[in-house]
Structure 1
Amino acid sequence: MDLTMSSCALSLLFIMSLHIHFPVPASGEFPPFRECAPFVCGDQQISYPFRHNERPSYCGYPGHELGCDGHNLTLSMMSPEYRVIHMDRNAQVLEVARTDIVEDVCRKTDVDTTLNFTLFNYASSDINFTLFYNCNVSPYSLSYLFLCRTQYGYLVRNADLDPQSPRCNFRALVMIASEALALLQSPDESNRRAIIEVLSKGFEITWIADTSQCDDCTKSGGRCGYGWTRQEFNCFCSDGVYSTTCDRQRIATIGTATVIALILILSIRKKPMIRKIMALVKQRNEHLDGEMKIEGLVSSRRYTYRDIKRITNYFEEKLGQGGYGCVYKGKLRDGQLVAVKLLTKLKGDAEEFFNEVVSISRTSHVNVVSLLGFCFEGSKRALIYEFMPNGSLEKFIFNRSNALEVDQLLSWDTLYQISLGIAHGLEYLHKGCNTRILHFDIKPQNILLDASYCPKISDFGLAKICPREESIVSFLGARGTVGYIAPELIIRNIGGVSHKSDVYSYGMMVLEMVGKTKMPKLQ
């Protein structure tokens, strides 16, 4: 076989290796992969977002713990406990009934049926009723009477309640499915058994947790979890934990191993071919790594580069320019004005872009700029932010060419409110998120002002995410802008790097706000 044929054959083998999945034998199953296997209770198989309450918390989404009492599933949300009658995973619906009153409606209770609305919602078919106990007389014409020993109780639809308080000793809110109401025929003493049957039918609730990522993970042979190291989705595979699926990481690993073998073969043949293959490998690995980093960021919409051109009217109006690229004014389909940050001068594997998308997608605060979307398409990177009509703080405190106008716009009281708002934003990033976010680039250029001069922290390209429990973080190289960088970021033997590094930068910025001039930069 001549050199050309050999090179073509090897290249074909390389390309095939990037697309074919080869199973990787594991020396031993990753512990969470074993622990988070689906469990069976009665005739129901249970998996993510739910977990058995005796399994590790990372096997399910927070607040979705189920118990198994013999052959029945139980769900403890707040109070009381609920028996799970049926689960519809496709519709994300649970049919549940209260365990404390379904056996005996005369077991007096003043505990309302409650849900944690951050995790569950009532279904549209649920109807609000109230149980009244130990009543002397019923003030309601539309009520269902039941006898408990020598005293009467009533079941009343909330929509039919009389404004006046009833003369009863106990009351409790309950939910009843609309289709079960046919069992209640007449308001007489025989209703006690019918009411128990109606309450036993339960009612429907829907869970909010997104399971779309879990479907992809399961298809790749993984098992789903949440919060293994931080509060985010996890795909547990037999060989480790990943952010999306098991396949993608293995394909990249096999592709890289194949390339190494090809390089060894081609090294004595044709060096230009090696360079082409290496460039292709690097580009592919960067793209796969990028996809894994941004996948699952449901709080931000992903746009194509064609969308970016439409939004900015083909980059018609430039708002500013920095070391990363340019910012353009744009408009979404609903008419909302936005600022589009087009990143064209990124280093290496575009770490700043991924830092910004991942960091800011975790935030929601009045003093932190909102990320409305992003573009990650080939070599194209863009971030879409809410539009800040007053631009950055820098142009106000450093613009002395028209000092009188600036001083009128930014009075001392306004400057104080701006500094206070920035402090609130930093406090939120350091203590208010489920993970601590260190910004590492607080400066006037990165503080944007809306129409009311409300400050918003922006540019999270140098940010670092760490668990809230960690006070000291470590990384290689200094981060930030000269003049605002905390000393411990440069001279490592004077103290640890922590959220206090942002506080130092904030202090330097406040000094510039007060002096209306740049502070001298120490070399």
Structure 2
Amino acid sequence: MDLTMSCSSLFLFFLLFFFISLHIHFLVPASGYFQPYQDCVPYDCGDQQISYPFRHKEQPNHCGYPGYELGCDGDNLTLSMMSLEYRVIHMDRGAQVLEVARTDLWEDICLHIYVDTTLNFSLFSYTSSDLNSTLLYNCDYSPTPQPYSFSCPGSRKGFFVPPGDPATPAPGVCKSSVLVPISPEALRLLLSTFPGSSSSANISEVLRKGFEITWIADTSQCKKCNESGGRCGYGWTRQEFNCFCHDGVYSTTCDRQGKPGILGTKAIIGIAAATGAAIVIVLILMLSFGKKQMIRRIMALIKQRSEHFDGEWKIKGLISSRRYTYKDIKRMTNSFTEKLGQGGYGCVYKGKLQDGRPVAVKLLKKLKGNAEEFFNEVVSISRTSHVNVVSLLGFCFEGNKRALVYEFMPNGSLDKFIFDKNNTLEVDQLLSWDTLYQISLGIAHGLEYLHRGCNTRILHFDIKPHNILLDANYCPKISDFGLAKICPREESIVSLVGVRGTNGYIAPEFIIRKIGGVSHKSDVYSYGMMVLEMVSRRKNIEVIVDRPSEIYFPHWVHRRLELREELGLRGITNEEDKVNAKKMIVIGLWCIQIDPRARPCMTQVVEMLKGSVDALEIPPEPSLSSPSRYLTACPCEFVFARE
């Protein structure tokens, strides 16, 4: 009898496992098969519309051709490409032409980062009508005849050199130059309306005319799909065109003549009903035998498998990046030959894509539980598109093999520049005070975007120098979203279990809950601590050797400011350096106020960095003893209620 019971239980176990596997592998994916038609509704942005081959950045990747992602800033379409953002002025679908202009030059030609206009030529190309112009910055030369000149705060004269203008300064006369294509219409405006004008506003008006680029993706199949009532997409089943219809996914049109990509509705409903009924029957039978312990084990197994597939579909529905196999990862890194860095998460290796582009591949260690940090990073960063947020190019999710493929940052992370004591002279030469200021401003822009620029608010919770990457031009990019939290924009306080972050940068409200809830102001605190480290070029918690009683840099620098003493900071050579250093210090001290309400939001941080140093008040010393003092002192407290 015991043997019969044991065999029956074993049989029932395998029968249940079979149906559970069938349910997870077949039914669960099927539940998403009809979603693409709903996912890929054309997205209206002002008087323009985002539809195939493009997709809105919040839509799943199968709604557009790979790489064709657009954002919507108010009523304006935006395109991010090669570390730059462009405003889409006009879209001509018939000719497959976009008229675009650089957003960093839209309002002001005084750039913070000098980057040439470069296209991703696997996706776009210039048109034959585009003309090359040049912006020259920090020049010690005034050519004759004098071209269009302009001035930027804190720098020498700049010049705009139109196409074909012979009055270009000799090499080395201007410290920086930026290539910007313009249209024939823009050139005509320049020559007819502003001949010889030296107004930066006039030059900005010319650059706002933009230039044209063509997209390469083939859209010939999309017309038939749309005419049959479908919506166009790409890569749902394989790397090919898809026509999403009410009842499924087809290869060409919704007229059922195309090759079907999925099962019909009735078949899926039938399988769902049969699988559900079988599971209920088997559970009842097992309960009748009193095998509760076995049921608990099976349910634990079901939960584990369900979490794995939940992760699969969470990624499938939300990301825009390419999925690689582990074999692909090994190939692109040459079997993990060149290590760039290592941390608690795993190792980072240098790699190369098939088109020759260098990449950084983060190979994660074996992850706990349902790999929450991996999903966090993939899902969070896939919702972003900003010049100061690192781009995720792809990922690997294969069994227990997890890897993330990022754009390669030649200058690595910020920490090696501000904490490296072995190469002081070289570090000082590389990171001038102007560069440090521009880096702090770029990070502020990136955090402002994460907190306010997305449809969902992304809280990073691990801002520190190690997670700020620098490209070839020292443009900062926020990375490592493993601890990030995604929440609706209207939410101010978030619910978290445990402490998130790194010691030295964790906001006090994580530890002392009575001072306030965890919110986007927690990122502001981490940002402030990091900025103060950039100023001091050392960790805030290090002991000051000649002042052993003052082990906390923020307290030390605050006392110096109150007494109007010299700060003795390294590398300051002129008045502009002093202004940049003081701005960073004062803003950093505002950001690390103990009470979250006393800290500025990132939008205000950006405004303070761009504003006059004379308008900045010295904040009270961060303290737990007298919250009322610094609450009344905060110059922007009443704005917080509207965030």
Task: Please tell me the TM-score bracket, short chain as reference.
Answer: 0.5 to 0.7
Deviation by residue 1:249-268 (Cα, 9 ceiling, x = unmatched): 99998899789768857875
Taking the aligned partners of 2:469 and 2:96, their CA distance within structure 1 comes to 46
Could you tell me which amino acid in structure 2 is paired with residue 305 of structure 1? Y
For 1:301, give the aligned amino acid. Answer: R
Distance 1:334 1:431, change over 3 A: same
Q: How many residues align?
A: 346
Alignment of 1:273-288 (within 5 A): 277=298, 280-288=301-309
Q: How much has 1:430 moved relative to structure 2? A: 1.0
Equivalent pair of 2:413/2:469 in contact (CA under 8 Å) = yes
| Cα distance in 1 between the residues matched to 2:482 and 2:274 | 29
Does the 8 Å CA contact 2:230/2:246 hold for their aligned counterparts?
no
Superposition pairs of residues 176-191 of structure 1, within 5 angstroms? none
Q: Identify the residue that residue 18 of structure 1 maps to in structure 2.
A: 20
Alignment counterpart, residue 357 of structure 1, candidates 359, 364, 378: 378
Q: Which structure dedicates a bigger proportion of its chain to strand?
A: 1
- Higher helix proportion, which one? 2
Letter matched to residue 122 of structure 1? R
Given that 2:37 and 2:230 are in contact with CA atoms closer than 8 Å, whether structure 1 keeps it comes out as no
Does the aligned pair in 2 maintain the 1:48–1:61 contact within 8 Å? no
> 1:487 & 1:460 partners in 2: Cα distance?
21
Q: For 1:319 and 1:425, locate their aligned partners in 2 and report how far apart those are by CA, in whole Å.
A: 24
Alignment of 1:310-459 (within 5 A): 310-459=331-480
Q: Provide the rounded CA distance (Å) in 1 between the counterparts of 2:456 and 2:344.
A: 28
Q: SS state of the match for residue 18, structure 1? A: helix
**1:369 match: secondary structure:** coil
Q: How many Å apart are 1:349 and its aligned residue?
A: 0.9
The TM-score, its normalising length taken from structure 2, stands at 0.47
Contact map agreement 2:37 2:246 (CA 8 A) in 1 = no
CA positional deviation for 1:117: 8.1
Q: Aligned Cα RMSD in Å?
A: 4.5
> What SS does the aligned partner of 1:471 have?
coil
Q: Distance in 1 between matches of 2:331 and 2:18?
A: 36
Separation of aligned partners in 1, 2:278 and 2:308: 14
Counterparts of 1:211 and 1:458, CA distance in 2: 28
Larger mean Cα displacement after TM superposition, 406-415 or 367-376: 406-415
How many angstroms apart in 1 are the aligned matches of 2:17 and 2:514? 49
Q: Which moved more, 1:2-11 or 1:425-434?
A: 2-11
Asked whether the equivalents of residues 356 and 463 of structure 1 are also in contact (C-alpha less than 8 Å), the reply is: yes
Shift of the alpha carbon at 1:3?
A: 5.0
Instruction: Identify if the C-alpha distance between structure 1 residues 217 and 457 changes in structure 2 by more than 3 Å, giving closer, same or farther.
Output: farther
CA contact (8 A) 2:332 2:351 kept: yes
Q: Distance in 2 between matches of 1:248 and 1:485?
A: 50
Query: Is contact 2:353–2:359 with CA below 8 Å preserved after alignment?
Result: yes
Which string of whole-angstrom CA distances, capped at 9 and with x for unpartnered residues, describes residues 2-52 of structure 1?
Answer: 355224312321222224459xxxxxxxxxxxxxx9xxxxxxxxx955xxx
Name the CA distance, whole Å, in 2 between partners of 1:279 and 1:516: 50
1:476 aligned partner: 497
Q: Report the Cα offset of residue 248 of structure 1.
A: 11
Distance 1:509 1:251 in 2: 58
Which secondary structure state, in structure 2, belongs to the residue aligned with residue 372 of structure 1?
strand
Is the 1:61–1:209 Cα contact (8 Å) retained in structure 2? no
Aligned counterpart, 1:309:
330
Distance of 1:405 and 1:249 partners within structure 2: 66
For the 8 Å contact 1:422–1:457, the answer to whether it is kept is yes
Tell me which amino acid in the other structure corresponds to 2:11.
A
For residue 93 of structure 2, what is the aligned residue in structure 1?
122
- What SS does the corresponding residue of 1:341 show, helix, strand or coil? strand
Task: Check 1:407–1:125 CA distance in 2 against 1; reply closer, same or farther (3 A cut).
Answer: closer
Give 5+ residue unaligned stretches, structure 1: 23-36, 38-46, 50-57, 65-75, 80-90, 93-115, 127-162, 164-202, 221-244
Once residues 251 and 387 of structure 1 are traced to their aligned partners in structure 2, the CA distance between those partners, rounded to angstroms, is 50
Aligned residue in 1 for 2:44: 63
One-letter amino acid of the counterpart of residue 514, structure 1: V
Deviations 1:180-218 (A, max 9, x none): xxxxxxxxxxxxxxxxxxxxxxx99x9987488795995
List aligned pairs for 1:225-244, cutoff 5 A: none
Look up the SS of the partner of 1:2 in the other structure.
helix
Q: Secondary structure at the match of 2:389?
A: coil
Contact 2:459 2:484 in 1 (8 A): yes
Distance 1:449 1:249, change over 3 A: farther
Higher Rg of the two aligned structures:
1
Asked if structure 2 preserves the Cα contact closer than 8 Å seen for 1:435 and 1:466, the reply is: yes
Deviations for 1:86-127, whole angstroms, at most 9, x for unmatched residues?
xxxxx99xxxxxxxxxxxxxxxxxxxxxxx98998634699x
Q: Is the 8 A contact 2:319 2:378 kept in 1?
A: no
Distance 1:14 1:121, change over 3 A: farther
Q: Does 1:463 align with 2:434?
A: no
Give the letter aligned to residue 10 of structure 1.
Answer: L
User: Could you tell me how far 1:305 is from its partner in structure 2?
Assistant: 1.0
Secondary structure of residue in 2 paired with 1:295: helix
Does structure 1 residue 6 correspond to structure 2 residue 5? Answer: no
Q: Partner letter of residue 16 of structure 1?
A: F
**Which stretch of the first structure deviates more once superposed, 489-498 or 315-324?**
489-498
What is the letter of the counterpart of residue 18 of structure 1? I
Q: Would the aligned equivalents of 1:21 and 1:250 in 2 still touch at CA under 8 Å?
A: no
- Residues 274 and 326 of structure 1: is their aligned pair in 2 closer, same or farther, counting only changes over 3 Å? farther
Matches within 5 A, 1:238-277: 277=298
**Contact 2:37-2:244 within 8 A present in 1 as well:** no
- 2:537 aligns with one of 499, 502, 516: 516
Determine helix, strand or coil for the equivalent of 1:338.
strand
State TM-score, norm by structure 1: 0.57
Cα 1:119/1:288, change in 2 over 3 Å: farther
1:133-282 equivalent positions in 2, closer than 5 A: 210=233, 215=244, 218-219=247-248, 277=298, 280-282=301-303
Deviations 1:286-320 (A, max 9, x none): 22111121012452111111111111111111111
The residue number in structure 2 matching 1:131 is: none
Counterparts of 1:367 and 1:323, CA distance in 2: 24
